[in-house]
Amino acid sequence: MKNFAPLLKKISKLRILVIGDVMLDHYIWGDATRISPEAPVPVVDIAKDSWTAGGAANVALNIASLGAKCTVAGFFTDDEAGRKLAAILQQHAITPLPTPGNGSTIVKTRVLVQHQQLCRLDRESAPTAYQFSIKQAEALLRKAIGEADAVILSDYAKGILTDELVAKVTKLARAAGKFIALDPKPKRRLKFRGLDLITPNRRESYELAGIEPEPHTPYPAQEICRRIHRAHATRNLVITLGEDGMLLSSGGKITRTIPTAAREVFDVSGAGDTALASLVLALAAGAKLEEAAHFSNAAAGVVVGKLGTATVTPEELLAYVAHQS
């Protein structure tokens, strides 16, 4: 596997702007050895709580962890969760760009028993609470886009990314000559066209292509790439296929499939954020798509070997690659 040290050095000089649904990830760690007498459910004896940045904020965390500077634009407010999130961003030298809105800070709480997820509890407002006007968006984002080397739109279908906002950010990024990428959530059917990169997973790629998956049939890679390119004219398409690796496509045609680098998978939480962040960093640093995919694959391979939403450092990545070689 390639030596990524020169690429990591270039990455350390970049600044990336992330726009999307930021949230706080809350973990409750404990054990369950008995069933409640009130209902047939386990009783969890809580050992500890932990918090980290989630959603688009986890994309930002991965960017900072790999050595680049990052600004993140998303909604969070001055509630307890918002203050925790702001402190985490500050700890990692991430510049927050809070957006207007009237909802509560989004929180995902995962209950883990003996390192297995028992359930997830979500706190969030209606999507309209996180939307803001295009006039506000332009005033807030124009300077940040101009200062960035690349822009990432991270959609978790919570409401901040609308058709109008995506169109405005794309226009501003194009006018400033900036690389722009999107991690889509097709169930929201956002309109976008002419981006440099999109990174759906297998299920999302079916939705983007308008194809209903059929059980026990091979993945229709060529047709999916052709349809997505026809609909969205994206320069590069990288489909993350889990244990089957990554599918690379340019101009609607498949260019390569990269096998997965992961040896052991403990938790896939946030692995898509890591793949997106590392792909964009590598491409913004001048890497070709295939090299960027290998870099991203290795970064995701480190993260899925950890429990919970996680990030990867340059040292961990280099050690992982050396062990794989």
What gap in Å lies between CA 176 and CA 171, rounded to an integer? 9
Q: Where are the beta strands (DSSP E) in the chain?
A: 15-20, 22-35, 42-55, 69-74, 95-98, 107-113, 116-123, 150-154, 179-183, 197-198, 236-240, 246-250, 253-258
pLDDT per residue as tens digits for the range 134-176: 999 999 999 999 999 999 999 999 999 999 999 999 999 999 9
Q: Which CATH number do you get for residue 258? A: 3.40.1190.20
Which one is catalytic: 21, 25, 267, 273?
Answer: 273
pLDDT per residue as tens digits for the range 208-226: 999 999 888 999 999 999 9
pLDDT of residue 322: 85
Q: Is the pLDDT of residue 261 over 80?
A: no
With respect to residue 111, please indicate whether it lies within any of the assigned structural domains: no
pLDDT of residue 321: 85
Q: Is the pLDDT of residue 127 over 70?
A: yes
Average pLDDT rounded to a whole number, residues 237-247:
88
Q: Is the pLDDT of residue 104 over 60?
A: yes
With respect to residue 50, please indicate whether it lies within any of the assigned structural domains: no
With respect to residue 149, please indicate whether it lies within any of the assigned structural domains: yes
Task: With cut-offs at 50, 70 and 90, classify the pLDDT of residue 118.
Answer: very high
pTM above threshold 0.75:
yes
Task: Compute the half-sphere exposure of residue 321: CA atoms within 13 Å on the CB side of its CA.
Answer: 20
As a dihedral over the C-alpha atoms of residue 249, residue 252, residue 255, residue 258, rounded to 10 degrees, the angle is 30
pLDDT per residue as tens digits for the range 30-50: 999 999 999 999 999 999 999
Active site residue 273: yes
Q: Is the pLDDT of residue 188 over 80?
A: no
With respect to residue 117, please indicate whether it lies within any of the assigned structural domains: no
Burial (CB count within 10 angstroms: exposed 0-12, middle 13-18, buried 19+), residue 113: middle
Q: Quick one: what percent of the chain has pLDDT higher than 90?
A: 78
Average pLDDT rounded to a whole number, residues 242-269:
77
Q: Is the pLDDT of residue 264 over 70?
A: no
What gap in Å lies between CA 66 and CA 317, rounded to an integer? 9
Domain ranges, residue 264 = 5-23+55-104+128-324
Helix/strand/coil for 280 = helix
Give how far Cα 213 sits from Cα of 210, 224, 256, 257, 272, Å.
10, 11, 22, 20, 21
pLDDT of residue 263: 52
With respect to residue 145, please indicate whether it lies within any of the assigned structural domains: yes
What gap in Å lies between CA 293 and CA 238, rounded to an integer? 8
With respect to residue 235, please indicate whether it lies within any of the assigned structural domains: yes
pLDDT of residue 267: 47
Residue written as tokens 């918002």? 82
Average pLDDT rounded to a whole number, residues 5-14:
96
With respect to residue 162, please indicate whether it lies within any of the assigned structural domains: yes
CB atoms within 10 A of CB 127: 16
Domain count of the fold of the chain: 1
Among the listed residues 156, 24, 16, 161, the one whose alpha carbon sits nearest the alpha carbon of residue 101: 161
Among the listed residues 239, 245, 159, the one whose alpha carbon sits nearest the alpha carbon of residue 206: 239
Does residue 310 or residue 77 have the better pLDDT?
Answer: 77
pLDDT of residue 180: 98
With respect to residue 122, please indicate whether it lies within any of the assigned structural domains: no
